[in-house]
Structure 1
Amino acid sequence: MPGPRSPSPARRLGEPYLWGAAGPGSWDCSGLTAGAWSAGGKSLPHYSVAQYDVSTPISAADLRPGDLVFWGDGGGPSTIHHVALYVGDGRIIHAPRTGRPVTEESMYYWRTPDFYARP
Structure 2
Amino acid sequence: KKKEVQGKLAEAQRLLNSLTAAEKAALAAEQARASRASADRVQLGNSTPASGRAGAAFSAAQSKVGTPYVYGATGPSSYDCSGLTSWAYAQAGVGIPRTSEAQANIGTRIYSQSQLQVGDLVFFFNDLHHVGLYAGNGQTLHAPRPGTAVRYESMSTIGGPFMFGIRV
Instruction: Give TM-score scaled by structure 2 length.
Output: 0.63
Q: Does 1:92 align with 2:140?
A: yes
Distance 1:7 1:63 in 2: 17
Query: In the alignment, is the contact (CA less than 8 A) between 2:69 and 2:150 conserved in 1?
Result: yes
Please tell me whether the aligned partners of residues 2 and 36 of structure 1 are also in contact (alpha carbons under 8 angstroms). Answer: no
Identify the match of residue 37 of structure 1 among 57, 69, 89: 89
Q: Which runs of 5+ in 2 are unaligned?
A: 1-53
Structure 2 partner of 1:76 = none
Q: CA 1:97 to 1:70, structure 2 compared with 1: closer, same or farther past 3 Å?
A: same
CA distance in 2, matches of 1:101, 1:93: 11
- Structure having greater relative contact order (Cα 8 Å, sep ≥ 6): 1
Q: Percent identity?
A: 41
Q: Match of 2:79? A: 27
Q: CA deviation at 1:2?
A: 4.2
Q: Deviations over 1:67-86 (max 9, x none)?
A: 0111123xxxxx21100100
Higher helix share: 2
Unaligned runs of 5+ in 1: 74-78
- For 1:62, the equivalent position in structure 2 comes to 115
Q: Relative to total residues, which structure has the larger strand share, 1 or 2? A: 1
Higher-Rg structure is 2
Tell me whether 1:117 sits opposite 2:166 in the alignment.
yes
| Comparing 6-15 and 46-55, the one that deviates more | 6-15
Query: Normalising to structure 1: TM-score of the pair?
Result: 0.87
CA distance in 1, matches of 2:61, 2:150: 9
After TM superposition, where is structure 1 displaced by more than 2 Å over at least 4 residues in a row? none
* 1:2/1:36 CA distance change after superposition, 3 Å: farther
What residue in structure 2 maps to residue 8 of structure 1? 60
Secondary structure (helix, strand or coil) at the match of 2:102 reads: helix
RMSD: 1.7
Distance 1:111 1:30 in 2: 16
Q: How many residues align?
A: 113
Q: Following the alignment from structure 1 to structure 2, what is the Cα–Cα distance between the partners of residues 56 and 27?
A: 25
Query: Which residue number in structure 2 is paired with residue 53 of structure 1?
Result: 105
